[in-house]
Amino acid sequence: MPSPHHRSRHRGQGAGSAPPAAKAPRPRLAMLSASLGIFVTQLDFFALNLALPRIASELDTTVTDLQWAISGYILALGAFLIPGGRLGDILGRKQMLMTGLAVFGLSSLGAGLASSATAVIVLRFAQGVGAGMLFPLCVAVITDAFPKEQTMRAIGNAYGIGAIGLALGPVVGGGLTQLITWRLVLLINVPVTAAAIVVVWVGVRESRDTTVPRSIDLPGLAAVVLGISLVTFGIDRMDEWPPGMAWGVFAAGVLLLVAFVLRERVARWPLVALDLFRNVPYVIVTVMTTVANIGVTSSMYCITIFLQEAEKHTPLGAGLIFLPVSLGAAVGGPLSGWLGERFDIPHTIAAATLVGSLGTFLVSLAGGFGTFLPGLAMNGLGYGIGWAMASVGTQTVVPPQRAGQASGVTLSIVIGVAGMLVALTAMLIETGTQGQNLAIAVEAVLRWIAFGSAAATIVLALLAARLMPQRVIASAE
């Protein structure tokens, strides 16, 4: 998943810092608490992918139906990134960070003890809500605790620790699932989040932004969450329900998303400032990073099914084979910042996404480890850089005073659309297996992902070359 940047750099009581009587910030503890929050969400994402087949078998469902444990989590995360940060600004970042950690930890506990697939999926959605709350606030507490000149380095260090969770995810998920139980993949989150809550309580001072409105657009929030959910659910059920019913659910979701846009145009305090979408470079960068994130999330789902369901690898074996993807993505995140400072943003995203597309194509050939492992590494590194550029790209195409807001909107789109496409991926695999074996169906879907992401990226790169300057500077836009 991409890493949201800080929401505000303002200092002083009027801009949201703690009042003068409040305790002094404790930077190291603030960074530790943020690092633990980021670590546990990154670890959870990759780890649970490897546990899906075992969960499906034990709870008497299919892996394709259980994809809602992944896509539901992603959708909830994407939907609550913006309101999560806004709640922190209004009610207090320390308080809401602890709330987000508690929701994430308790949902993990419930899902780890659940006795049905439905319960796991519902609680994974709740986990996504918790992650959506804590993700932006992890960065906000670092911003409040560190001097301005040290903030970016501190954020980078926190995400560096988070990248360790990304790298360890497959081995932890596969190992715990095979050697003990899949339930520990979820239950391991509980002590980590508990430790993070204690560190936040001890080491983070309360801060809020007194300049932001004190209300949230609840009708807009309900419309976008329900709209995305119904569109995704309609796609997921296309091959199981009568066509009229599935298309009706899909259409209802589309109408709710249209209602959301209309609501945001008239809301006094909108969740999304629609004038952002008149910024052409912003739109192009957002769509390009969305393509990359679709590539990585959909292909990971396919590869998980291929390794365990088609190739019959054990969860631990699949986790070890999966390491090139997670290591590539872990390297890609920090590398995106370095690349963004030195090269043109759209062309960097395009080049990285094409590397990921080529890697996905190599994986789809199933030609043995000689092509499979390099393909996995290229998939993780290329797509990983591509979607991690979401935050970096946002900083370069909008004015600095809107960078936090624009980053939240971008990440909501990038993550939310990817969650919807995981459901579409599951539907394509189910449809493909009706006329051929599972391995061939998964390989075909992987090729669609490879060619689709490559074609979309090339078109967007050509648009960027025509509509954007070679190097966009925020102050000029």
The confidence band for 191, taking pLDDT boundaries of 50, 70 and 90, is very high
Q: Which of 5-9, 130-134, 206-210, 414-418 has the lowest mean pLDDT?
A: 5-9
For residue 322, is pLDDT > 50? yes
Please state the rounded mean pLDDT for residues 190-210: 83
For residues 448 and 87, give the distance between their C-alpha atoms in angstroms, rounded to a whole number. 40
* Domain extent listing, the chain: 22-210, 217-270, 278-477
pLDDT digits (tens, 9 = 90+) for 271-321: 777 887 888 888 888 899 899 989 988 888 888 888 877 888 888 888 888
Query: What pLDDT is recorded for position 405?
Result: 63
Give the CATH class of 278-477: mainly alpha
Please state the rounded mean pLDDT for residues 105-119: 92
For residue 359, is pLDDT > 70? yes
Query: What pLDDT is recorded for position 449?
Result: 93
The secondary structure of 299-310 as a DSSP string is HHHHHHHIIIII
pLDDT digits (tens, 9 = 90+) for 366-404: 777 788 889 999 998 998 888 777 766 665 676 655 555
Percent of residues, the chain, with pLDDT higher than 70: 82
Query: What pLDDT is recorded for position 33?
Result: 80
Q: What is the pTM of this model?
A: 0.73
Q: Out of 1.20.1250.20, 3.40.30.10, 3.40.50.300, 3.30.230.10, which CATH number does the structure's domain 22-210 have?
A: 1.20.1250.20
For residues 337 and 30, give the distance between their C-alpha atoms in angstroms, rounded to a whole number. 22
The secondary structure of 382-427 as a DSSP string is HHHHHHHHHHHHHHHHS-GGGHHHHHHHHHHHHHHHHHHHHHHHHH
Please state the rounded mean pLDDT for residues 231-243: 73
Asked whether this chain's domains 22-210 and 278-477 adopt the same fold, the reply is yes
pLDDT digits (tens, 9 = 90+) for 45-99: 768 877 888 888 888 888 777 877 877 887 788 778 777 777 777 778 888 889 9
For residues 32 and 323, give the distance between their C-alpha atoms in angstroms, rounded to a whole number. 26
114: left (phi over 0), alpha (psi -120 to 50) or beta: beta
Environment class of residue 436 by beta-carbon count within 10 Å: exposed (0-12), middle (13-18) or buried (19+)? Answer: exposed
Query: What pLDDT is recorded for position 309?
Result: 78
Q: Tokens at residue 415, please?
A: 């993550």
The secondary structure of 5-51 as a DSSP string is PPS----SGGGTPPPTTSPPP-HHHHHHHHHHHHHHHHHHHHHHHHH
